[in-house]
Structure 1
Amino acid sequence: MTNPIKTRREGTILEVTLDRPKANAIDLATSRIMGDVFADFRDDPDLRVAIITGAGDKFFCPGWDLKAAADGDAVDGDYGVGGFGGLQELPNLNKPVIAAVNGIACGGGLELALSADIILAADHATFALPEIRSGTVADAASVKLPKRIPYHIAMELLFTGRWFDAEEARGWGIVNHIHPADKLMEEAWDMARLLASGPPLVYAAIKEIVREAEDEKFQDTMDQITGSKFETVKRLYSSEDQLEGAKAFAEKRDPVWKGR
């Protein structure tokens, strides 16, 4: 059996490709592999940014593999350390992740993309949450979408399961940028290199603050920050990088980030 996950590493960037013909659907075994890949990315101090994409030009990911489910994969089975697709529930992932949506992203595939920090889409990409039509619930999307886009639009997409294109996705803020299909990965790598050149300790602090603040009142989160309750913030303000940033500004030069 071939590995359904292909990885490519260049410097501090990791590209992860879901390659499971014919449609890049995810079964339990694939989800566990993805969780291990992203956990290794999280824990590797030499990696700073990840890109997640799909093989081919038709499917990013249609979500759960219904054929595998029919053969015995339980919907409540072991998805691995990161939950479905390896990203949604992976704890303490404090590094930027870019989703390069190269085609159809529906159901759990759209939820996988939503687990990234930045979403780039090919101009032919399409999206949907069709779980409603099979009598199931898009659970992660039901949690995330109403917090990220207008409530009434999120509920329409969840209730109807209708398809929408990349332009509409960008209009609602689901997608950051749209690119010609043959330029998508080039643009994703350009974005990854830009982020990889930035301060990793600041990224870590941003991600922890955003994650922890999601269900907190503003002042409660600010009190945690100023009270040094966030490990990433505490580490940042006692780091060489924080001092380097100040020195580089004073000396009118580009900073050299070391992640420590």
Structure 2
Amino acid sequence: MDAVTVEVVAPHVALVTIRRRDARNSVNGAVAAGLDRAVKAIEADPDLWTAILTGEGGVAFCAGADLKEVSAGRMQDLYTSDGQFAGFVKHPRSKIWIAAVEGFALAGGFELALACDMIVASDTSVFSLPEVTRGLIAAAGGVYRLPRAMPRAQAFELIATGGRIPAARAAELGFVNKVTVAGEAVAEAIAFAELINQNAPIAVRESLGIARQAYDMSDDALFALSLEAQDRVMMTEDFAEGPRAFVEKRAPQWTGR
């Protein structure tokens, strides 16, 4: 079986699954290459509006880098030119990604989840960036994405101690959107994706494209980006469909065009 699979699980929704259950879904070269291909395929498909990333087995979403690969001198295989670590954390993405976390999301696995736009986690899930306990840093985005996703002091504590945080506490602190019972993270993520997909996909995509840059740019620059995005949205078929559906008192029929 491929290390990463992609399947359409609902209208406009793709499920991307890391399939290395026996290795706690850790990242090796096959996973990095598979995720890189998955992102590119989803970006290229106009009929896919949202994607869900998960790991098989229910024990671990992803345990980070496969240390057997690292110790064998194959560290470079865990990176791709477009996506960097796991072929994913730096990949240019316009579609909406939801992490569906069951079990452990450790080190690079936690960084994969943080690289998504939203996180759904089961109540047995645990998150950690333990790199400092091994003399490393969470260099695949963890050390800067975590402070953006939760209160500064608590993020600093997790980074500096390498401690673990359960899903319920993660939701209280704001970096997990929804908590569900064990085994239901993917189903809840699909329902979440379908809720998002009730809205005009290009408008959602353009809106989150700006929101992702909110910590990196000035208000003036973000305002200019917003006006540019609005101009692009106004050129779409869906821009006309929304008001028309409102006047006709019916649900809009979005096309993504």
User: Secondary structure of 2:231's partner?
Assistant: helix
Give the CA deviation at 1:100: 0.6
Note closer, same or farther for the CA distance 1:77–1:166 as it changes in structure 2 (3 Å cut): closer
Give the CA deviation at 1:75: 5.3
Please list the CA deviations of residues 10-32 of structure 1 after superposition, one character each: whole Å capped at 9, or x if unmatched.
33211011111221000233212
Note closer, same or farther for the CA distance 1:235–1:174 as it changes in structure 2 (3 Å cut): same
Give the CA deviation at 1:80: 4.4
Check whether the contact 1:244–1:255 (CA below 8 A) recurs between aligned residues.
Answer: yes
1:72 maps onto 2:69 in alignment: no
* 1:115-130 mapped onto 2 (5 Å cutoff): 115-130=115-130
* 1:162-181 mapped onto 2 (5 Å cutoff): 162-181=163-182
Partner of 1:206: 207
**Structure 1 gap segments, 5+ residues each:** none
Give the CA deviation at 1:152: 1.2
- Distance, in Å, in 2 between the alignment partners of 1:37 and 1:257 is 24
- Distance, in Å, in 2 between the alignment partners of 1:193 and 1:76 is 35
Q: Which moved more, 1:195-204 or 1:31-40?
A: 195-204
Question: What TM-score do the two structures reach when normalised by structure 2?
Answer: 0.93
- Distance, in Å, in 2 between the alignment partners of 1:51 and 1:89 is 17
- Distance, in Å, in 1 between the alignment partners of 2:103 and 2:148 is 25
Give the CA deviation at 1:76: 8.5
1:15 maps onto 2:15 in alignment: yes
Partner of 2:104: 104
User: Secondary structure of 1:86's partner?
Assistant: coil
Check whether the contact 1:36–1:81 (CA below 8 A) recurs between aligned residues.
Answer: no
- Distance, in Å, in 2 between the alignment partners of 1:74 and 1:84 is 10
> Structure 1 segments of 4 or more deviating over 6 A?
none
Give the letter for the 1:45 counterpart: P
- Distance, in Å, in 2 between the alignment partners of 1:119 and 1:67 is 28
User: Secondary structure of 1:213's partner?
Assistant: coil
Match of 1:236 among 230, 233, 242: 233
- Distance, in Å, in 2 between the alignment partners of 1:41 and 1:95 is 8
Check whether the contact 1:107–1:130 (CA below 8 A) recurs between aligned residues.
Answer: yes
**Structure 2 gap segments, 5+ residues each:** none
- Distance, in Å, in 2 between the alignment partners of 1:31 and 1:125 is 23
What is the root-mean-square deviation of aligned Cα atoms in Å?
A: 1.7
Question: What TM-score do the two structures reach when normalised by structure 1?
Answer: 0.92
Instruction: Give identity over the alignment, percent.
Output: 34
How many residues are paired up? 254
Give the CA deviation at 1:77: 6.2
Partner of 2:131: 131
Check whether the contact 2:25–2:55 (CA below 8 A) recurs between aligned residues.
Answer: yes
